[in-house]
Amino acid sequence: MTVIATNGLLKAQHQWIDDELQTDPLQILILNLMPTKLETERQFLQRFAAVDQDVAVTFMYPTRHHFKTVSRAAIVANYVSIDQVVDQSFDGVIITGAPVEQLPFEDVDYWHEFVAISDWTHRHASQTLYECWAAQAGLYQDFDIPKYDLPQKAFGIYAATTVDEHAQLMSGLSAGGLLKMPQSRHTALDLPATLPADLQVVAANAEVGPLVLTAPNQRAVYVTGHPEYTADTLAREYRRDRRKQLAVPVPQHYFKSPASTAVNYSWPDASRRFYQNWLTSLTLTKVGL
């Protein structure tokens, strides 16, 4: 269907041209914590352009963050802050990942603002979707679940080996291996043996643990990976880290063969279906079903 960007760097640079909406779109707010602002905007806009609903996307930034890859003036001019939307409501909010997972949560420069925004979303959005670091941060805030450092980076494309077939988010993804998701993280959730009453794991992988968790009472979904990633994202991250001489593994289940640089681009359909399911749940809430 149609996706429009109400703001953002792509829109300001005329790199994203909106189509004309035919219906009342779902209003989605994205707190973009990724340093690759333009790329992340494009990834989400392209993902939403492939679903069945009309979507209007607004990008938000944390005011406490010290930006390194883009000027603060550009962000302030083309993103909204929490103060600018504090009285508004949205159908859904997405909080992206961020390359800060090896820091203690409280040492992240915008941690207190993250907590305030997350609390605000529970009152001003039908549902919040947390991705990668934000999923760990949201579970720490909501359920006091800590994270721990992995001996080796979880890096690659991982298929769900267990799926809750009754979860609406897993509609069309419940058959073995259909849900595939890029992972790129140095930490993992330290889940208790017995989960809190409101928290469920709806998809997991035997190698890297939970892929998707839900908390209905919190109106929250926690995704440990990056379903928005495009074909070459992990390859570029891998080359970047190797240039820095970092000890990172080759992305698992990603290249077509050990000696190949060709990507086994196997997850777009799963990502589209996942976002489609999430937006469908927002639509049902919007119409009161």
Catalytic, out of 113, 131, 228, 237: 228
- Helix extents (H) in 7-128: 9-12, 37-49, 72-78, 82-85, 111-124
Torsion angle (degrees, nearest 10) of CA 183, 244, 34, 216: 30
Catalytic, out of 112, 226, 237, 253: 226
To the query of whether residue 226 is one of the catalytic residues in this protein, the response is yes
Q: Is 240 annotated as a binding residue?
A: yes
- Nearest CA to 203 out of 228, 231, 219, 183 is that of 183
Q: Is 37 annotated as a binding residue?
A: no
Looking up tokens 């190949």, which residue turns up?
Answer: 260
Q: Is 71 annotated as a binding residue?
A: no
To the query of whether residue 228 is one of the catalytic residues in this protein, the response is yes
Output the CA–CA distances (angstroms, integers) from residue 27 to 14, 51, 267, 280, in the order listed: 21, 14, 25, 13
Catalytic, out of 132, 166, 207, 237: 132
Please tell me the distance from the alpha carbon of residue 143 to that of residue 214, in angstroms, as a whole number.
12
The residues assigned a catalytic role are 132, 226, 228
Annotated binding-site ranges for substrate: 153, 184, 240
Annotated binding-site ranges: 153, 184, 240
